[in-house]
């Protein structure tokens, strides 16, 4: 019996003509109308805030004396009558004991609760971690004492994830992504958010009171340091005592830093809480500057204009950059006229980023000289960290060609993405010749793991 070809073989047969022409990739020259300016601008730092209703606390057992099990103790605040936490102990079996608020002596076993463990997994798919979940559904509000007993005398490490009341959340974000460079101080901002009993949104001091805020930073080499956060109006945190905290730490070397914001305080009802949020911060060893105050455009084939942006890079410069800018012209009455946003992934050529635009955008906007490139930003392509920005860059454009003026008006794909290279056009034609015409073939495959995360 003949066998069906594999999915990979079918893909190779259908795509081989296209792959043969794809050795030299040509990036798209993206553009769009002024109505999309707001979508393409860099988001405000607060728009990328992480919201957290929980706390991830490190658990570290020191080596105990011979014959004794190591112990670890922490205070777990309960805000809404429910106590729920998860232990990530790896292969170790930590034995927990809970002591309710008001216990005279946490060492008295009669006053302690030994919660039942529920096996669970934290995360989804292949990266899910085995864990044990513990619950006390009718827990008195207040500060509970948790004591963990290790399953040996050797040093052990892990984490405790404590769930809090969803009506009180920690919101935190990097203060300025332009700081993500080696040798800079990297700031983070934090505040409370939540909802009142009527469901209305509350922020900062209306959502509760932060009593203590810290940054726990893990450097690329594994070193852990702690740094204070303040609400004194002197750390880029707004006004003093407005409920917005900020702090920073020095990034002495490039690499990935893990910055954990840890806050303790009371919610709007006066119940104690603890919240944490985690930020992975890529710190780059790259410097870039725009090496001109004006750019002269030149004509290209068809209706394109080349706008080469001179740049100078030092450090570990990437092979290409993510570039965005806004093209503005002038109206008949002398007012500024938005033309189009421009951008894409661009690789430097002879020290210049080969930005380009279709002249038909200028025709469509009815703009004339003088022209400027506004809100220009050049970013790292992997993490979108700003490397260089310019509010305004003067442009000198040649006279519009008649072919562009005749074709202006309707926005088409070439205005949006640039002209398709001839090699790709031939590849698409070759692939179509080997395809099945207008019919769609569905080839069955399989999944090596679960598609949906476990509930």
> pLDDT tens, 175-186?
999 999 999 999
Q: How many domains does the chain have?
A: 3
At 216-253, the pLDDT tens digits run: 999 999 999 999 999 999 998 999 999 999 999 999 99
Evaluate whether residue 302 is within a structural domain.
Answer: yes
Q: Are residues 208 and 278 in the same domain?
A: yes
Cα-based angle 292, 295, 296 (whole degrees, multiple of 5)? 145
Token representation of residue 412: 């088409």
Say yes or no to pLDDT of 116 above 90.
no
Q: What is the CATH number of the domain that holds 157?
A: 2.60.120.380
Q: What is the three-class DSSP state of 156? A: strand
Token representation of residue 363: 């025709």
Q: Are residues 102 and 73 in the same domain?
A: yes
Q: Are residues 313 and 391 in the same domain?
A: yes
Q: Are residues 290 and 399 in the same domain?
A: yes
pLDDT (0 to 100) of residue 293: 95
Q: Are residues 279 and 290 in the same domain?
A: no
Q: Are residues 158 and 180 in the same domain?
A: no
Q: Are residues 151 and 173 in the same domain?
A: no
Evaluate whether residue 11 is within a structural domain.
Answer: no
Q: Are residues 274 and 293 in the same domain?
A: no
Say yes or no to pLDDT of 22 above 90.
no
Say yes or no to pLDDT of 135 above 90.
yes
d(CA 70, CA 152): 7
Q: Are residues 328 and 269 in the same domain?
A: no
| Residue 70 binned pLDDT confidence (cut-offs 50, 70, 90) | confident
Q: Are residues 309 and 368 in the same domain?
A: yes
Neighbours of 34 (CB within 10 A): 17
Q: Are residues 298 and 395 in the same domain?
A: yes
Q: Are residues 124 and 173 in the same domain?
A: no
pTM: 0.82
| Residue 18 binned pLDDT confidence (cut-offs 50, 70, 90) | very low
Q: What is the three-class DSSP state of 273? A: strand
Q: What is the three-class DSSP state of 400? A: coil
Provide φ and ψ at 18, rounded to 5°.
Answer: -70, -40
Evaluate whether residue 102 is within a structural domain.
Answer: yes
Using a 10 angstrom Cβ sphere, with 0-12 exposed, 13-18 middle and 19 or more buried, the burial of residue 139 is buried
Evaluate whether residue 18 is within a structural domain.
Answer: no
Report CA 124 to chain centroid distance, whole Å: 19
Rounded-to-10 torsion of CA 115, 117, 123, 125: -170
Say yes or no to pLDDT of 23 above 60.
no
Q: What is the mean pLDDT of the chain?
A: 87
- State the residue range of the domain holding 244: 167-283
Q: What is the CATH number of the domain that holds 336?
A: 2.60.40
């Amino acid at each position: 019996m003949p066998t069906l070809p594999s999915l990979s073989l079918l893909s190779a047969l259908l795509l081989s003509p296209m792959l043969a022409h794809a050795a030299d990739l040509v990036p798209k020259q993206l553009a769009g109308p002024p109505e999309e300016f707001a979508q393409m601008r860099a988001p405000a730092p607060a728009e990328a805030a992480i919201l957290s209703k929980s706390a991830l606390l490190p658990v570290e057992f020191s080596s105990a004396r011979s014959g004794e099990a190591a112990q670890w103790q922490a205070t777990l605040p309960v805000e809404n009558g429910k106590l729920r936490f998860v232990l990530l102990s790896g292969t170790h079996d930590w034995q927990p004991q809970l002591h309710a608020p008001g216990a005279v002596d946490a060492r008295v076993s009669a006053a302690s609760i030994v919660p039942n463990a529920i096996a669970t997994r934290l995360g989804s798919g292949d990266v899910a971690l085995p864990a044990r979940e513990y619950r006390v559904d009718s827990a008195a509000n207040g500060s509970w004492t948790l004591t963990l007993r290790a399953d040996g005398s050797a040093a052990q490490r892990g984490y405790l994830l404590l769930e809090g009341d969803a009506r009180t959340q920690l919101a935190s974000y990097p203060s300025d992504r332009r700081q993500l460079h080696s040798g800079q101080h990297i700031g983070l901002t934090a505040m409370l958010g939540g909802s009142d009993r009527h469901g209305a949104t509350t922020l900062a001091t209306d959502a509760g009171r932060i009593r203590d805020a810290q940054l726990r930073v893990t450097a690329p080499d594994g070193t852990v340091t702690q740094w204070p956060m303040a609400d004194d109006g002197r750390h880029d945190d707004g006004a003093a005592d407005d409920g917005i905290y900020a702090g920073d730490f020095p990034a002495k070397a490039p690499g990935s830093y893990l910055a954990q914001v840890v806050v303790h305080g009371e919610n709007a009802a006066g119940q104690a809480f603890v919240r944490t949020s985690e930020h992975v911060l890529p710190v780059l060893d790259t410097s870039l500057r725009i090496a001109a105050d004006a750019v002269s455009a030149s004509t290209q084939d068809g209706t394109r204009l080349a706008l080469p942006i001179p740049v100078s890079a030092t450090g570990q410069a990437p092979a290409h950059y993510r570039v965005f800018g806004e093209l503005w012209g002038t109206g008949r009455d002398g007012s500024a006229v938005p033309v189009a946003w421009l951008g894409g992934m661009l690789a430097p050529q002879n020290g210049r980023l080969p930005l380009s635009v279709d002249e038909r955008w200028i025709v469509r906007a009815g703009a004339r000289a003088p022209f400027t490139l506004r809100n220009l930003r050049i970013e790292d392509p992997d993490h979108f960290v700003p490397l260089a920005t310019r509010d305004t860059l003067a442009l000198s454009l040649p006279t519009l060609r008649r072919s562009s003026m005749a074709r202006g008006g309707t926005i088409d794909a070439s205005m949006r993405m640039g002209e398709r290279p001839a090699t790709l056009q031939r590849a698409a034609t070759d692939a179509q010749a080997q395809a099945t015409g207008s019919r769609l073939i569905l080839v069955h495959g399989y999944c090596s793991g679960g598609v949906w995360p476990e509930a």
